[in-house]
Structure 1
Amino acid sequence: MHTDFGDNHPIRPMAKDPILVYQMDERSEGVALFRLPLPMIQQYQDQPTNPHRHDHYTCFFLEEGTISTRIDFQPVIINKTSFLLSYPGQIHQVGSAYSCKGWILGFDAKLIDEGVRHVFEQSLSTITLLTLDEQEQDWFRSMLMMIDRSLHENKTYLFHHKLVQTLLNGFIYRVAAIFQLQLNDRIRDYSLRSLALTKNFRQLLTQQVLTCKKPSDYAQRLNMSASHLNDTVKSVTGFSVTYHIQQAVLAEAQRLLVYTDLSIQEIAARLGYEDPKYFIRLFGKAAGLSPTKFRKNNT
């Protein structure tokens, strides 16, 4: 979604990661808002953008047009009835964008309320794509316009940063509320306790997957038996704790295989496996083909 930016741009590329990472410039307020169309979007009507990560949350809100993108290998279509929130670390690659008008909002996780952040981190889905009605679309549009005006005001005004942060939190509170309502429609058959435990596990998995590979590791951190954790997670999601761990590791391995030139041995070490052969066996079992073949088929 990005090309090279000027020196004063609030989002900057970071070259240290093997996959291109765009991070908030230290001189920014931790918030970046772009109004579509942008030249970089128009360039990619018929060809995919370069894959990249963000070190921050990113929201996509369209008033007109359609964007076809992939988030961690999953195809996603964004239009005026939908709203996409992507998480830090996920890989983006826009496939096509036509007649787009709308907004892209990026913001540092530390600026938003911790409770709201937990709602997203504990999500049972890795893609947060909301459906908006006309009233919600109007509300989002108005809030984004207020955030835009506030970002361009004189930054020496008293409480300027607090104003921007307050508007941002109001915007994200509404996103979280809609997200929770739509989630509740899908999970109403499960107990609140089971859902809370599964969400806590999902959040912990996101934070610890590179260092914790066993169900017992997560059960210990959640102060329960591995069997109870597994039974609960499986009842809510349909899959075991081991499966979720494998899928989280697999997703990061696939990113590194396709979007970097790291060797299989280097990828194994980055994912916490001292024995590359063991990693290759695990990848093959989860993906159905070897890391080498997966890389060849996707590059």
Structure 2
Amino acid sequence: MRGTTVLPGTPCATPRPGEPPMHRLELRLPDDVPFAAGSFDAVGPLSRAAFPHRHTFHEIVHVTSGTGTHVVDLDRWELRPPHLGVILPGQVHHWEDAHGLDGTVVLFTEDFLLDHGDRDLLRRLGERPWHTLDGPTHARTGRLVAELVEEHRHGADGFATVLRSLLHVLLVRTARLPGPGASDPPPPGRPGAVAAEFARLLTRTGAEARTVRECAGLIGVTPGHLTDAVRTATGRTPAALLREARTREAQRLLISTDLSIRQVALRVGFGDPAYFCRFFRRETGRSPGDFRKHHDRRDPSLEAEAVRA
């Protein structure tokens, strides 16, 4: 996540042709702390962006009022506040038909986290990203995010350490909440360093990684060791998780851009569109074209007409 924060006033990162805009987190000067917290109004108009976009940072949003829908990748969450939501780097999200949207937004990069355990918590939260809060949980969450906002606003001595500690508490408490449609909880025990690094690699470059061997090389271990570590931590193989990451990125591109099937195939590492179509159908049960037709919420592509396939 290093290098993802920018000085105030820097425009959003230019996306690759055809992809949604990529938003970066402005640094707080002179402290250069990759963290921000405040109301939707304080964070700025992009906190309510109605167009599909991605982040290079993590976002936790405590929604206290509003109507409409929050869309993250393929999931649509109708607003019936209070809610607590988590958006991971690389996910495509936007607010649809939102009115009266209010609450607190917490933004931070992975570098700002307290320790590796927090990275594991965020990975798990990405599987259960949206929570409707009961009264006591809403009140407790409100007090905690208010402390984050207050500490960040005043910037007293040691404020970065306090922010990391409060953020850790927020992640732990959020991880305790049941998520809608949650699957069985992950196996007990924290994943090893190798498995955690593989999870971070998938978050950053899952659609670009081609093979387990390539991933192992990037992490600095043998393919066999990577397979054993990931299987122990997750009960699944690296190959299965790679297929899932590439499928998820293809789905994001199909529903959030108007890139052609050939262009989507190239984006996720398939030089042969026919092979990509067979892969996609095997993983999802639908062809890319049929999937797009049933999830047609695309925005116009930024791809130049001259390079369309």
Q: TM-score, normalised by structure 2?
A: 0.69
> Given the alignment, which residue of 275, 278, 282 partners 2:275?
278
Question: Which residue of structure 1 lines up, in the alignment, with residue 55 of structure 2?
Answer: 54
Distance 1:149 1:124 in 2: 25
Deviations 1:35-92 (A, max 9, x none): 2468959xx8xxx921111111111112334552121111224544431111111111
Distance 1:171 1:177 in 2: 10
Asked whether 1:172 is paired with 2:167, we answer yes
Question: Which residue of structure 1 lines up, in the alignment, with residue 286 of structure 2?
Answer: 289
**Aligned residue identity for 1:30:** P
**Aligned residue identity for 1:51:** P
Q: CA deviation at 1:118?
A: 1.9
Distance 1:31 1:247 in 2: 30
> Given the alignment, which residue of 30, 39, 52 partners 1:35?
39
Higher relative contact order (CA 8 A, sep 6+): 2
Distance 2:225 2:184 in 1: 23
Does the residue aligned with 2:37 lie in a helix, a strand or coil? strand
Cα contact 1:284–1:290 (8 A) shared by 2: yes
Asked whether 1:196 is paired with 2:200, we answer no
Give the 3 Å change call, closer, same or farther, for CA 199–128 of structure 1 in structure 2. farther
Q: CA deviation at 1:203?
A: 4.5
Question: Which residue of structure 1 lines up, in the alignment, with residue 256 of structure 2?
Answer: 259
Cα contact 2:122–2:171 (8 A) shared by 1: no
Cα contact 1:37–1:100 (8 A) shared by 2: no
How large is the RMSD of aligned CA atoms in angstroms? 4.1
Does the residue aligned with 2:15 lie in a helix, a strand or coil? coil
Distance 2:188 2:153 in 1: 43
**Aligned residue identity for 2:188:** L
Deviations 1:103-133 (A, max 9, x none): 1222222112232432235427534234545
**Aligned residue identity for 1:56:** F
Cα contact 1:37–1:102 (8 A) shared by 2: no
Q: CA deviation at 1:134?
A: 4.0
Distance 1:176 1:150 in 2: 17
Percent of aligned pairs sharing the same letter: 20
**Aligned residue identity for 2:174:** F
Question: Which residue of structure 2 lines up, in the alignment, with residue 3 of structure 1?
Answer: none
Distance 2:88 2:75 in 1: 14
> Given the alignment, which residue of 242, 245, 249 partners 2:246?
249
Q: CA deviation at 1:144?
A: 3.1
Give the 3 Å change call, closer, same or farther, for CA 104–186 of structure 1 in structure 2. same
Distance 2:137 2:161 in 1: 19
Distance 1:266 1:104 in 2: 34
Cα contact 1:33–1:105 (8 A) shared by 2: yes
In the TM superposition, structure 1's runs of 4+ consecutive aligned residues that sit over 6 Å from their partners are 183-186, 216-220
Question: Which residue of structure 1 lines up, in the alignment, with residue 304 of structure 2?
Answer: none
**Aligned residue identity for 2:173:** I
Q: Gapped runs of 5+ residues in structure 2?
A: 1-6, 299-309
Distance 2:114 2:55 in 1: 20
Give the 3 Å change call, closer, same or farther, for CA 129–294 of structure 1 in structure 2. closer
Give the 3 Å change call, closer, same or farther, for CA 259–63 of structure 1 in structure 2. closer
Q: CA deviation at 1:175?
A: 2.3
**Aligned residue identity for 2:119:** H
Q: CA deviation at 1:291?
A: 2.6
Cα contact 2:121–2:175 (8 A) shared by 1: no
Distance 2:210 2:267 in 1: 13
Q: Gapped runs of 5+ residues in structure 1?
A: 1-6
170-179 vs 82-91, greater mean Cα deviation? 170-179
Cα contact 1:116–1:176 (8 A) shared by 2: no
Q: TM-score, normalised by structure 1?
A: 0.71
Asked whether 1:105 is paired with 2:120, we answer no
Cα contact 2:27–2:35 (8 A) shared by 1: no
Cα contact 1:64–1:100 (8 A) shared by 2: yes
Question: Which residue of structure 1 lines up, in the alignment, with residue 118 of structure 2?
Answer: 117
How many residues are paired up? 276
Give the 3 Å change call, closer, same or farther, for CA 172–68 of structure 1 in structure 2. same
Q: Output aligned runs, 1:128-139, within 5 Å.
A: 128-130=129-131, 132-139=133-140
Deviations 1:7-37 (A, max 9, x none): 956x853223321111113566423334246
Cα contact 2:66–2:99 (8 A) shared by 1: yes
Does the residue aligned with 1:210 lie in a helix, a strand or coil? coil
